Chain A
Amino acid sequence: MRDLPGAVKVLAALAVVAVALPLVALAARAPWSDIGRLGASGPRTALFVSIEVSLAAAALSLVFGVPTALVLARARFPGRSIVRSLALLPLVLPPVVAGVGLLAAFGRRGVLGRGLAAIGIRLPFTTAGAILASAFVATPLLILTVEAGVRALDRRKEDAAETLGASRWYVLRRVTLPALAPQIVAGLVVAWARALGEFGATITFAGNIRGRTQTLPLAVFEAMQTDPGAAILMSLMLVALSLVALVALRGRFLAR
């Protein structure tokens, strides 16, 4: 391989250091003797809420993201590029704006919220609301990953299935989705990791209610003002969870 210019290597090394330094600093500054405090009810509750919200959000993004990815990659209809931009908008939208938008739609006086309230469904400031907010920002990541997979698929496999007498649904179930499994898993992990770290949309739409909508990132933010030690320990907990995601994706991002 041709050797790279020195400046490129220096910049790359700086970037790696910049990423590693805060993580090392977190570990260095952590009050390790107080690690038992993570077992206290506050952090523990936030952890459980985080896990519940992030897993449910990942599931939602799966249910809605995979069909969207299939339609965006395959269907030909006027305005497709506009629809695609819309579906991916949350990627570039400031999360707090997403939160405000969700309030405008599903809030007590929202466009849809009023109707939902009439039948007894309330989303803002509930766990369901936190899930919706996380899924809102996480789904485009899954869509992008799966859509790339659909585009790379050999369509003749589906052709072959169809000539063998398979209905559309059977082709999807037995051929298309199994072939997309690696991309679906990758998209799911990325979406889950994004939902786990979600802050802006959640706090705006679902608030910061302990035991209901206070996820770990919100608890970290709150603790920073009163108990920085606890904030650092909870941050390390999030780092540990993120590492799980990284390991799950090792085939894609690590090694090579």
Chain B
Amino acid sequence: MSLRADVRCVAADFVVEASIEAERGRPVALVGPNGAGKTTLVRVLAGLAPIERGTVALDGTVLDDDTTHVAPRDRSAGVVFQDRVLFDTMSAVENVAFGLRARGMRAGEARERARDLLRSMDLEHRANARPVELSGGEAQRVAIARAIAHEPALLLLDEPLSSLDVRARTEIRALLGKLLASFQGVAIVVTHDPVDALTLADDMVVLEHGRVTQTGPIDDIRSAPRSAYAAELVGINLFTGRLEPIGDGAARLQTDAGAIVVSCPAALDSALEDVTALLRPVDVVLYREQPSEASARNAIRGTIRSIADDGQRARIRIDASPPLIADVTSGSVSRLGLKEGGPVWASFKAVEVRLVLPS
């Protein structure tokens, strides 16, 4: 039970030729730089854009091929569009009820179901508000509720977090995380934020210039990114574990492979499981000797596993507890005398670590 798409289609000024597979219950992150064709691909899967050739099949039913085109209304799809695209002539609850009404459900029952859905998203008090009266986060919740109200088999989310401010983004990411974890259908999330991809999806499809450059479980892509873009996107230090406050505004994140010190979230007064933390490789500083008298709370000793040097910048993978990735200039590699297999000290400040708390 899954989605299989192998299509060639023409976007505004370029060709998208991509093959995607997605399993039910395993959300896929569709990532790629701007203009890679992500939105075009979403429109194809939704039935809104024609394919030139190829096939799209959901659960074995052909939606698109040389002779078939199933209209969007006849696909069991729900789409969360970029910038939401809510119906601004309708209230929030009417927006959510739209898919049920359009499929012939009686008005009263559809409204009731829509209201229940809004309640489950803590938005019942805004049910009668117009989209223009909603905050970004509220409007996004309405857009998500509208897309799932009719229980689609295929859920397409096009940059669901990109138009939000930081606070709403955290809130909606948690909501989507919960939603996707229990979603029984095929889900595809378009994003170019590594945090969204890592927290919302299990598998990843990397799309660049209209071509799929890599596809597979996110962990596999993390350990062996095949393009500079993918390396940049997922080549980020990611830690998951138990977070406990240690005083002085700091907290320790205990992972299976070692501990790091991070800044303590204001709300944390006891230990919290399943916390994700991210650290950009450029924020990791390397030393030959143990650094002293530094403000950084983390100084970890390790062994250099690999150095990927493009002449300007070098990406260093370090075996340590926990393992780290660091980006330094090529000059630093020779200045510090870094060699594969050699020792190194890696250091970073607690405040550089970005925390993603579970919902």
Question: Which A residues contact B (CB, under 8 angstroms)?
Answer: 154, 156-157, 159-167, 170, 174-175, 178-179, 181
Is there contact, CB below 8 Å, between A166 and B89? no
Candidate in B88, B98, B146 with the most chain A CB atoms within 10 angstroms = B98
| Chain A contact surface mostly | helix
Q: Given A170-B102, A174-B98: A163 and B85 within 8 A (CB)?
A: no
Q: Is the CB of B98 within 8 A of A163?
A: no
A167 B102 Cβ-Cβ under 8 A = yes
Complex CA distance for A179 and B131, rounded to whole angstroms: 13
- A-B CB contacts (within 8 Å), total count: 65
B-chain residues with CB within 8 Å of residue A160 when the two chains form the complex: 79, 81, 85, 87, 146
- A-B CB contact pairs (8 Å), 30 listed: A154-B85, A157-B85, A157-B87, A159-B79, A159-B85, A160-B79, A160-B81, A160-B87, A161-B87, A161-B98, A162-B48, A162-B72, A163-B46, A163-B78, A163-B79, A164-B99, A164-B146, A164-B150, A165-B73, A165-B99, A165-B103, A166-B73, A166-B98, A167-B73, A170-B102, A174-B87, A174-B90, A175-B89, A179-B88, A179-B89
B47 at the interface (CB under 8 A from A): yes
Q: In chain B, what residue has the closest Cβ to A167? A: B73
| B332-353 interface with A by 8 A CB criterion | none
With A and B bound together, what is the CA distance between A178 and B75 in angstroms? 25
Q: Mark B222-251, 1 if CB is under 8 A from A, else 0.
A: 000000000000000000000000000000
A174 to B89, CA, bound (A): 9
Q: Are A181 and B89 in contact (CB under 8 A)?
A: yes
Cross-chain contact A165 with B87 (CB below 8 angstroms):
no
CB distance from B75 to the nearest CB of A (A): 8
Residues of B within 8 A of A175 (CB): 87, 89
Q: In the complex, A175→B87 CA distance in Å? A: 7
- Say what secondary structure dominates the interface of chain B: mixed
Interface residue? B22 (CB, 8 A): no
CB distance from A193 to the nearest CB of B (A): 26
Q: Could you tell me if A163 and B48 are in contact, using CB atoms closer than 8 angstroms?
A: yes
> Which residue in A162, A163, A178 is a CB contact (below 8 Å) of B89?
A178
A162 touches B73 (CB 8 A): yes
| In the assembled complex, B71 has its CB within 8 A of some CB on chain A | yes
Quick one: which of B249-269 are within 8 Å of A by CB? none
Over the window 59-85 of chain B, the binary record of Cβ atoms lying under 8 Å from chain A Cβ atoms (1 yes, 0 no) is 000000000000111110111010001
B46 to chain A, nearest CB (A): 5
Query: Measured between C-beta atoms, what is the minimum distance from B38 to chain A in Å?
Result: 15
B81 touches A165 (CB 8 A): no
CA A220 – CA B130 in complex, angstroms?
Answer: 49
Q: How long is the Cα–Cα vector from A207 to B159 in the complex, in angstroms?
A: 64
A161 touches which of B43, B47, B74, B102 (Cβ 8 Å): B102
* Partner of A165 from B43, B85, B150 at Cβ < 8 Å: B150
List 18 additional contacts besides A159-B48, A174-B101, A174-B102; criterion CB under 8 Å: A156-B81, A159-B46, A159-B72, A160-B146, A161-B102, A163-B73, A163-B75, A163-B77, A164-B73, A164-B98, A164-B146, A164-B150, A165-B73, A165-B74, A165-B102, A170-B102, A174-B90, A178-B87
A181 and B90 alpha carbons, distance in the complex (Å): 13
Which residues of A have CB within 8 Å of B79? 159-160, 163
Residues of B within 8 A of A165 (CB): 73-74, 99, 102-103, 150
Q: Would you give the shortest CB distance from A146 to chain B, in whole angstroms? A: 16
Chain A residue nearest to B97 in the complex (CB):
A164
**Contact A156–B146 (Cβ < 8 Å):** no
Contacts of B85 in A (CB 8 A): 154, 156-157, 159-160
- Cα A179 to Cα B86 in complex, Å, equals 12
Contact between B48 and A164, CB atoms less than 8 A apart: no
- Complex interface residues of chain B between 37 and 60 (CB less than 8 A to chain A): 43, 46-48
What is the CA–CA distance of A160 and B47 in the complex, to the nearest angstrom? 11
Give chain B residues whose Cβ lies under 8 Å from the Cβ of A179: 88-89
The 6 closest A-B pairs by CB, nearest first: A164-B99, A166-B102, A178-B89, A162-B72, A165-B102, A165-B103
CB distance from A157 to the nearest CB of B (A): 6
Report the nearest A residue to B94, measured CB to CB.
A174
Distance between Cα atoms of A165 and B120 in the complex (Å): 23
State the Cβ distance, A169 to closest chain B Cβ, in Å. Answer: 11
**Residues of chain B lying within 8 A (CB to CB) of residue A181:** 89
Q: B residues within 8 A CB of A178?
A: 87, 89-90
Question: Min CB distance, B79 to chain A, in Å?
Answer: 5
